[in-house]
Amino acid sequence: MMEIGIGHYLILSGLLFSIGFVGVLRRKNLLMLFFATEVMLNAVNVAFAAIGNYYGDLSGQMFAFFVIAVAASEVAVGLGLLIVLYKKYGSLDLDVIATMKG
């Protein structure tokens, strides 16, 4: 059997990140956009942990911790904003909410 190295983890993390990126590009609902950003953040966390493991260094894990902290606060503020938007427009669709037509 093949040994699982850092390459496997990086390719997996890249694939997960691109899944999230496709989601960010194609989603029109704001809540679903939030889900897609969570996917991207998780993909980056896996890459951090894998590279930290590769060097036997703890800094990768530290950065992953701070990414998790940032993600948690982002969700708290973002959901508050979504509730305000939903109360104002009655919808979370970007096409409805958009006021600047470019």
If the CB atoms of residues 37 and 100 are measured against another protein, the closer one turns out to be: 37
Confirm or reject binding of residue 90 to another protein (CB under 8 A). yes
Confirm or reject binding of residue 97 to another protein (CB under 8 A). no
CA nearest neighbour of 9 among 60, 57, 43, 56: 43
| Contacting another protein within 18-37 (CB under 8 A) | 18-23, 25-29, 31-32, 34-36
Residue with tokens 């939030």: 34
**C-beta of 101: minimal distance to another protein in Å?**
15
- Taking each helix axis from N to C end, the angle separating 30-55 and 59-89, rounded to the nearest 10 degrees, works out to 180
Secondary structure (DSSP) of 82-93:
HHHHHHHHS--B
Confirm or reject binding of residue 49 to another protein (CB under 8 A). yes
If the CB atoms of residues 68 and 100 are measured against another protein, the closer one turns out to be: 68
